[in-house]
A and B are shown apart, each in its own frame.
Chain A
Amino acid sequence: MTLTVNDLRVEFDGFVAIDGVSLTLEPGRLHFLIGPNGAGKTTLVDALTGLAKGSGEARYRTRDLLALASHRITRLGVGRTFQTATVFEELSVLQNLDIAAGVHRARWRLMLPRRGAPERVAEVMETVGLTELADRPAGVLSHGQKQWLEIGMLLVQDSSVMLLDEPVAGMSAEEREETGELLRRISPGRTVVVIEHDMDFVRRFADVVTVLHAGKVIAEGTAAEIREDAQVQLVYLGEDA
């Protein structure tokens, strides 16, 4: 399912954070959002997930995401992660994933205890490599593992759009590599959008790159095309370059 963003604007007290962004986010490819600090990358994701008020349109499955509450956007199949991995620290890895899986369960089943790991949850733990840590409280996980857990939470929900806010920031080189591979594995059939700073990582894994600067899209294309783009070079390297 394609998510189409049309002329999105987000303003905070007169400061324009997103200034007329139009984007087409298609399934089956790894779409990277890059841009200098303050370009509006996270704000864009916030607006698409009901965390920031925006005007314009974000059309997905006949609905306009900008008009929906956060939890409804999630139920529609649009999930996100946060820059600081925000897992439920006191609950186990298994419990974290099981709570995420709740979107597919009938309400009344909340009253029953969980028995073991539901099939889908077990599968996902395997996919994100956390099976061994199933019963550990999420609070003791490493930074990278928490990000994987967050991605896992989206996988259990079977989100068809995943908006990942800097999932590899602070990860070791190996963890980055593993995360990249993980993203590749999950991207067929889904729309995976990744905010990232690390250009090496972007070059290795991006199918499409959109460059944001001062709330506007200044370029879009493959990583190689983006590298050649004069305007992008100007933004990243300054006037002297």
Chain B
Amino acid sequence: MSMKKLSPYVGWLLLAVALLVLAPAVLSDFRLGLLAKYCCYAIAAVGIGLAWGRGGMLVLGQGLYFGIGAYAMAMHLKLADAGPGGVPDFMALYGDATVPGWWEPLRSGAFAVVVILVLPALVAGLLGLAVFKRRIKGAYFAILSQALAAAFAILLVGQVKTTGGANGLNNFQGFFGYALFDPANKRMLYFIAAGILLVSILAMAWLYRSRFGELLVAVRDGEERVRFLGTDPANVKLAAYVIAAVLASIGGALFVPIAGIVSPDDVGVVASIGLLAGVALGGRASLLGPAVGALLVGYAETSLSEAFPGSWSYFQGALFVLVILLLPGGLAQLLNARRGNSVSSRFLRGVPRGKQAQAELPRSASEAAPEEAAAR
């Protein structure tokens, strides 16, 4: 393989060393636990990078899928804690101390894992079919996806007896037979989260190099054109959207034993935008940008909240504005600018070059692009 093809893997290797060797060596257990939490966000962010950065779909509601994974895991953990036939503690507190029928299957750990992987794919698949086949895109798609995340959070809040309502689900004792208060098991959870993050980035590297990756960029930059090349762009977008949903769900599922709680606040609109902020900061179209950005935003949130309590949402808003105004390609853009516009830097590039070129060379009104023609 040439140096150009290797460069993204060098970045990946650096990240792997930092996460698997450096961090466990220098961080306290408490800080490592926080990093594990950021890794969960980063896994979701990797999926957002695919859907938004490469696919051009502004997925404003990934909290929905993060939440599906998180709640499925949390329900299983609560049932496992309660023991065979047992009732989770909060149900005795708020309800009539019976386990609802739709909770029962989640007593099985294997079934919970299936739900975590398959349910988001089903939901995203159905939603995607309905949306992309009707050619709903841009802001309409973004608003729709955000509304769904909001609706999901509201639904959870309303079901105090079965979902813990606004308090969410918490106070987990064990994770597939391992005690969660044991520091050794907490470290193991960190390694699982970091490992899955690294594997998901590798999977993206493969996808971006595959013909699917090229086709996805083509759909992003000229959806209508792809149609006239014999491919229904809806199917391409659907695939990317489903992968992003599953990654968000995996991130959510791991988040639960690591954070020790999941509540509607972790799945709603604000949480969804939080996931997006890291992706924007890191560089949405780059391979490592979304993950690194999510880790940085997670770290910034903790340290700023420690230094200036209650200030984080202002910082997050400011960060969004600054990135979008000054650095649309995210941090990856800085790296890219330093390297020049070589072909290899495609992996780390933020803003589609075609868009820049269009901005520089206004077209005459008489030359109607097919996108516009399709709208007529």
Contact = CB atoms under 8 A, between A and B. Distances in A.
B348 to A, nearest CB: 14
B211 A51 contact: no
A102 B370 contact: no
A75 B209 CA distance: 25
Given A46-B373, A99-B218, A139-B353, A69 B343 contact: no
B306 interface: no
Contacts of A113: 206, 209-211
Nearest to A12: B376
Interface string A101-114: 01101000111111
Contacts of A111: 207, 210-212
Contact of A91 (B209, B217, B224): B217
A110 to B, nearest CB: 4
Interface stretch (A22-30, A79-87, A121-129): A79-87
A102 B211 CA distance: 9
Given A89-B357, A90-B221, A100 B229 contact: yes
Nearest to A46: B373
A51 B374 contact: yes
> Do most interface residues of chain B lie in helix, strand or loop, or is the interface mixed?
helix
A51 B224 CA distance: 10
Contacts of B367: 83-84
Contacts of B343: 92, 135
Interface string A187-225: 000000000000000000000000000000000000000
A129 B232 CA distance: 29
A84 B225 contact: no
Contacts of A18: none
A102 B230 contact: yes
B357 A139 contact: yes
For chain A, which range describes its interface: under 10, 10 to 19, 20 to 34, or 35 or more residues?
35 or more
A99 B222 CA distance: 12
A109 B211 contact: yes
A110 B210 contact: yes
Contact of B229 (A102, A114, A140): A102
Contacts of A114: 211, 214
B211 A98 contact: yes
B221 A89 contact: yes
Contacts of A100: 229
B24 interface: no
Contact of B228 (A49, A89, A92, A135): A49
B227 interface: yes
A46 B363 CA distance: 21
Interface in B32-85: none
Nearest to B363: A84
Contacts of A96: 218
A83 B225 CA distance: 12
B352 interface: yes
B225 A88 contact: yes
B215 interface: yes
A102 B231 contact: yes
A84 B368 contact: yes
B353 A86 contact: no
A95 B212 CA distance: 11
A137 interface: yes
A145 interface: no
B357 A153 contact: no
Contact of A99 (B214, B227, B354): B214
A70 interface: yes
Nearest to A100: B229
B304 interface: no
A160 interface: no
A157 B358 CA distance: 27
Given A46-B373, A111-B210, A91 B218 contact: yes
Contacts of B126: none
B209 A102 contact: no
A139 B353 CA distance: 8
A71 interface: yes
A152 to B, nearest CB: 12
5 contacts: A51-B373, A71-B231, A82-B370, A82-B373, A139-B353
Interface of B: 206-207, 209-212, 214-215, 217-218, 221-222, 224-232, 343, 346, 352-354, 357-358, 363, 367-370, 373-374, 376
Please name the 7 residue pairs, one residue from A and one from B, whose CB atoms are nearest each other, closest first: A89-B354, A74-B230, A84-B367, A103-B230, A110-B212, A113-B209, A88-B218
